[in-house]
Amino acid sequence: MKRALVLLFLLASLALPAKDKPKVQDELFGEIDSILAELSKITGWPVKRKVPAAYITRDKLRDFVTKRLKEEVKDEDVKIEQQILQMLGLIPKSFDLRKSTVDLITEQAAAFYDYNRRRLYVLETDESTLERRVTLAHELAHALADQRFSLRKFIKGGMEGDDQAVARQAVVEGQATWLMWAYMAVRGGREPSVPIELLANANMNAASGGAGFPVLAEVPMYLRESLIFPYTRGLLFQNEVHKAQGVKGFTAVFTNPPDSTRQILHPETWQKGEKPVEVKAPDAPKGYKLKAEGSMGEFDHHVLIRQYIDDVAADRVAPHWRGGTYRLYHSKKGDPVLTYASTWDTPESAEWFLIEYKAIVDKKGQTQKRIWRDGATVRSIEGLPE
């Protein structure tokens, strides 16, 4: 059972109905072969097959996302995901996860590559030809990676943990974003690279990313950051890998993928092969049944601290994260209990986090809780009956 952000990422690569046929006469789609050829030169990966493309309206996309979500995700699973995020304090109790997921995907999609049918789709918009060409290059980077590695298998291979899934998504989107700008540089007569100003902007969080996007601006911070993280921090990760390994780095991130958002945020830890520390969330009291469990990474903790404390505390504490997990239990009556554990690089940094986490739990309004530190590990049980 995974949290909502993983569901959101997977839905971003939805398969469209087969009746949407490619418009082979379209001027933009006529550039597909030449863009693929240039991306092949940059990566060193051969083009194995043509990539068909089609347009889709935003209304059709909404209808399809709504239908697909209903078919693929049980109502009970959505309720559990929503409950986990609520108990973690990442979304308010009144938040409608299913509706907001549909709204957010429908608003944010400009184009996407369907790795089930191996074709790409472009939303019908008023964007200029240049803007659509940039978007097309991003999706064709996905198509080329899919021909080399199978994106479906790659993404599914990281589904054992929430944090690992986000890290793999950052590989997929970060590399496509890097190649998109590298292609535009080559088109302008330069070496394949990303402009410095774009790399500087990739350091920003999603706080200013909602301008012109009312749905994105209104969803909780965690969902905004989760949506944007793979593109921004993934871009920076790929850039560091390219500086260290050159062309070989495009393949390396797929054959030896990062398994935590810490490795995305700190690429040197991926180069060194530093793995997350395994830590077990506490058991619930007798009479409670395990309903879901997952991992919480450096990214999750950074957003959580930012949301309830401030950016300074998040920047100071989160980088010391080394491992984290949670478990959701239900009583026979359906009452939830959340157990949580995180481990840090030193007992001192664990104490820093303990202080912040106690304040976070209080601000969440959770009165029935136990929070304690054991060396470099912080544990909690929340939602206990009075």
pLDDT along the chain (386 residues), means of 10: 49 48 65 97 97 91 84 85 93 91 88 87 82 93 97 83 92 97 96 92 62 85 92 96 97 96 98 96 94 95 97 97 97 93 98 97 86 97 85
Sheet holding 53-56, edge to edge: 53-56, 119-123, 111-114
pLDDT of residue 336: 93
Residue keyed to tokens 């429908």: 106
CB 313 within 8 A of CB 303: no
pLDDT of residue 12: 52
pLDDT of residue 209: 53
Helices marked H in the chain: 4-11, 32-43, 58-72, 75-88, 97-108, 129-149, 151-156, 162-187, 196-201, 214-218, 221-245, 248-255, 261-265, 267-272, 298-308, 311-317, 347-364
pTM (global) more than 0.75: yes
pLDDT of residue 211: 61
Side-chain half-sphere of 369: how many Cα atoms within 13 Å? Answer: 21
CB 90 within 8 A of CB 306: no
Q: Which two tokens stand for residue 65?
A: 């996302």
pLDDT of residue 109: 85
Side-chain half-sphere of 170: how many Cα atoms within 13 Å? Answer: 33
pLDDT of residue 25: 46
pLDDT of residue 108: 86
Nearest to 50 by CA among 30, 80, 25, 65: 30
- Rounded to 5°, angle at Cα 205 from 43 and 360: 130
